[in-house]
């Protein structure tokens, strides 16, 4: 549902119904700070609040990562919804009626997406019916029940069964109007080299994979015998991106926010098994390593993540990699400990759900402790040279810790285990720590306009303030005023037009001229919603959040305009001087004199403050 298909009245009614402070305050701890509210940004890791919410203007902006917008944009970003989904969710909460899709024209991509979602919904219902109500699914149902899956659990996770045969699902969906081309695009059927189509899943227990809103977007199928592959996932499609999807997030997100913690598993069977144990904040990756996108998605819901992967070597390697990915996304990480060689489903099957809650959940270790433990396997600690290499590597891990008390704790452990002087370890750690700090400083020098609190530790006060030339500050002030006042924008359009020197300000000015040219009144929410480029939407919200004197006098406004014009004259004078120097080198006396007179005239204009 594109923006222009939803009436402006509906959007305004949504914005007027909700107080953005109340909406954001449900997810972010906000405190009053002057005219605005501040808190830790939910979209990136930070230690010092840079997330600001304006109750007067009804929008938010993070001065750390640059995100910003109105209440609709916040729900889109925080809930991972598209524009249509966010509008419908907010409208429903406000009791507003929004036209449905069949009342509005859809673009082809949106129509295809909806058709694929409908095909998956019907497929899910068919598979569940076959499992629970037919003779075909009896073997699979018995298998699940022996594994401890009750009917209630099966229904909670919509588990189903795909029967033997090559075209059961194909025939079912084609009879209901779905084309073979669409079903192939959706990954529900495949095609042989000879062009014959067939069901993608056959004789498998089917685990539906839902997006964060609970819509089935893919399937994972598990065999009943020793056939390979043991697990088979749907291919990526218009509605399914494996690297951006977490299994069970739609069911777990409420509990994750409530407990402020998520437990990460390797697969859906583990996730479902621990659900029986009352662990309802579990989610899983989809047969691949945790991706950066999945970690960022998870960080929107919680800061703390406990990893519970298999206890074999492959699971431990995956744990090590997941720790790195989660920490880069700003998460605090713990690792749950299982007996060697077991996974959560094995443990629960052998020991029961109560043992899992009483023994595994409390037995976590820190991410650093796990890294040090995992590191040991690469060294023979009975050999002195190997032992020294291990200690050196261990110090590098410890040097990454932010708090001195944490570093000292692990140093003491090393000193006691290997009977070393604590002071000698501190000296070595100090050298490694400052070497890492210097590297971070060099990396920081390469940062562009956007900066991240993972790098600068949220030290807003400690950052060096950039000194900009007068014309830059004048242009920034003009854009701030133009966002708030249509008449000022029209005056700037006449006086300066497109002659802004800072490219980003020039682009924003052009957007503002076009916005006011359509007859709109000043409204930062409406203006930013019309900007397709996220970069300029974020810049506009940032400038709108700045505290400026909105009751600017005519003299102040004229001074800002003249600052920009004076810079134009400065550039022109510089250009004329270069031309005059060239004329002197070429012994062109007449040209040199002419250029000298032009320079004098430009200097006079500069003195008069007029062009």
Instruction: Give the DSSP per-residue string, 540-606.
Output: HHHHHHS---SS--HHHHHHHHHHHHHHHHHHHHHHHHHHHHHHHHTT-HHHHHHHHHHHHHHHHHH
Give the separation between CA 301 and CA 296, rounded to whole angstroms.
9
> Cβ distance 96 to 76 under 8 Å?
no
pLDDT for 298 beyond 80: yes
pLDDT for 611 beyond 60: no
Q: Output 49 or 389, whichever has higher pLDDT.
A: 389
Q: What is the pLDDT of residues 401-417, one digit of tens each?
A: 888 899 999 999 999 99
Using the structure block, give the residue that is written with the tokens 């007179």. 597
Using the structure block, give the residue that is written with the tokens 């692990």. 410
pLDDT for 468 beyond 50: yes
pLDDT for 448 beyond 50: no
Domain 244-374: which CATH class? alpha beta
DSSP state of 247: B
Q: What is the pLDDT of residues 527-561, one digit of tens each?
A: 887 887 878 888 888 888 887 777 788 888 888 88
Q: What is the pLDDT of residues 319-340, one digit of tens each?
A: 999 999 999 988 999 999 999 8
**Which pLDDT score is estimated for 49?**
86
pLDDT for 226 beyond 60: yes
Could you tell me the pLDDT band of residue 301, with boundaries at 50, 70 and 90?
confident
pLDDT for 447 beyond 50: no
Q: What is the pLDDT of residues 52-90, one digit of tens each?
A: 999 988 989 988 888 888 999 999 888 878 788 888 889
Query: What residues does each domain of the chain span?
Result: 3-103, 108-238, 244-374, 379-447, 470-605
Give the separation between CA 126 and CA 427, rounded to whole angstroms.
66
**Which pLDDT score is estimated for 364?**
92
Mean pLDDT of 248-257: 91
Domain 3-103 in CATH: superfamily? Zinc finger, CHC2-typedomain (3.90.580.10)
Mean pLDDT of the chain: 85
Mean pLDDT of 111-122: 93
Establish whether domains 3-103 and 244-374 are of one fold: no
pTM for the whole thing? Answer: 0.68
- The long-range contacts involving 513-521, CB below 8 angstroms and separated by at least 24 positions, are 513/489, 516/486, 516/489, 516/490, 521/486
Element (H, E) at 531: none
Q: What is the pLDDT of residues 13-33, one digit of tens each?
A: 898 999 999 999 888 888 888
> Percent of the chain beyond pLDDT 70?
90
pLDDT for 2 beyond 50: no
Asked if CATH classification 3.90.980.10 holds for the domain at 108-238, the reply, yes or no, is: yes
Phi, psi of 44 (to 5 degrees): -155, 160
Instruction: Give the DSSP per-residue string, 375-426.
Output: HGGGS-TTSHHHHHHHHHHHHHHHHT-S-HHHHHHHHHHHHHHHT--HHHHH
Domain 470-605 in CATH: superfamily? DNAb Helicase; Chain A (1.10.860.10)
Give the separation between CA 222 and CA 224, rounded to whole angstroms.
7
């Amino acid at each position: 549902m594109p923006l222009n298909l939803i009436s402006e009245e509906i959007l305004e009614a949504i914005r007027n119904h909700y107080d953005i402070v109340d909406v954001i305050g449900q997810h972010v701890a906000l405190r009053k700070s002057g005219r605005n509210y501040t808190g830790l940004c939910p979209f990136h890791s930070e230690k010092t609040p840079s997330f600001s919410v304006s109750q007067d203007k009804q929008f938010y902006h993070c001065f750390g990562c640059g995100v910003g917008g109105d209440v609709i944009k916040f729900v889109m970003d925080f809930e991972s919804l598209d524009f249509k989904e966010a509008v419908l969710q907010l409208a429903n909460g406000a009791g507003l009626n929004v036209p449905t899709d069949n009342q509005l024209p859809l673009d082809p991509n949106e129509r295809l997406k909806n058709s694929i979602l409908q095909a998956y919904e019907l497929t899910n219902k068919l598979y569940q019916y076959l499992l629970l109500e037919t003779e075909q699914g009896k073997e699979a149902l018995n298998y699940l029940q022996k594994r401890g899956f009750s009917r209630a659990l099966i229904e909670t996770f919509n588990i189903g069964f795909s029967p033997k045969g090559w075209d059961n699902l194909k025939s079912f969906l084609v009879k209901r109007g779905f084309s073979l081309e669409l079903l192939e695009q959706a990954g529900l059927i495949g095609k042989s080299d000879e062009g014959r189509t067939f069901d993608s899943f056959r004789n498998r227990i089917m685990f539906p994979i839902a997006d964060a809103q609970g819509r089935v977007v893919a399937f994972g199928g598990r065999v009943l015998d020793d056939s390979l592959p043991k697990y088979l996932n749907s291919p990526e499609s218009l509605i399914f991106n494996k690297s951006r999807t977490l299994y069970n997030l739609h069911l777990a997100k409420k509990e994750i926010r409530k407990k402020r913690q998520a437990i990460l598993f390797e697969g859906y069977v583990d996730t479902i098994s621990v659900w029986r144990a009352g662990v309802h904040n579990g989610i899983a990756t989809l047969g691949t390593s945790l991706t950066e996108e999945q970690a960022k998605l998870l960080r929107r819901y919680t800061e703390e993540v406990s990893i519970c992967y298999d206890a074999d070597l492959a699971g431990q390697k995956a744990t090590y990699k997941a720790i790195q990915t989660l920490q880069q996304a700003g998460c605090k990480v713990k690792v749950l400990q299982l007996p060697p060689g077991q996974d959560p489903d094995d443990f629960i099957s052998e020991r029961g759900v109560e043992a899992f809650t009483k023994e595994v959940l409390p037995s976590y270790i820190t991410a650093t402790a796990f890294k040090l433990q995992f590191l040991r396997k690469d060294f023979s600690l009975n050999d002195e040279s190997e032992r020294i290499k291990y200690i050196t590597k261990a110090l590098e891990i410890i040097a990454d810790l932010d708090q001195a008390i944490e570093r000292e704790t692990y140093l003491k452990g090393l000193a006691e285990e290997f009977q070393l002087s604590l002071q000698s370890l501190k000296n070595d750690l100090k050298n490694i720590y400052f070497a890492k700090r210097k590297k971070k400083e060099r990396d920081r020098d390469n940062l562009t306009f956007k900066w991240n609190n993972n790098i600068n530790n949220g030290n807003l006060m400690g950052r060096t303030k950039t000194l900009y030339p007068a014309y830059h500050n004048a242009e920034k002030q003009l854009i701030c005023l133009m966002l708030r006042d249509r008449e000022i924008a029209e005056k700037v359009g006449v006086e300066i037009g497109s002659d802004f020197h800072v490219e980003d300000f020039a682009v924003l000015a052009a957007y503002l001229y076009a916005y006011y040219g359509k007859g709109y009144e000043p409204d930062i929410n409406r203006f930013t919603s019309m900007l397709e480029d996220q970069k300029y939407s974020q810049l506009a919200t940032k400038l709108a959040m700045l505290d400026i004197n909105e009751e600017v006098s005519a003299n102040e406004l004229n001074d800002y305009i003249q600052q920009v014009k004076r810079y134009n004259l400065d550039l022109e004078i510089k250009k004329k001087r270069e031309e005059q120097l060239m004329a002197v080198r070429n012994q062109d006396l007449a040209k040199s004199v002419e250029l000298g007179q032009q320079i004098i005239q430009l200097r006079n204009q500069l003195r008069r403050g007029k062009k």
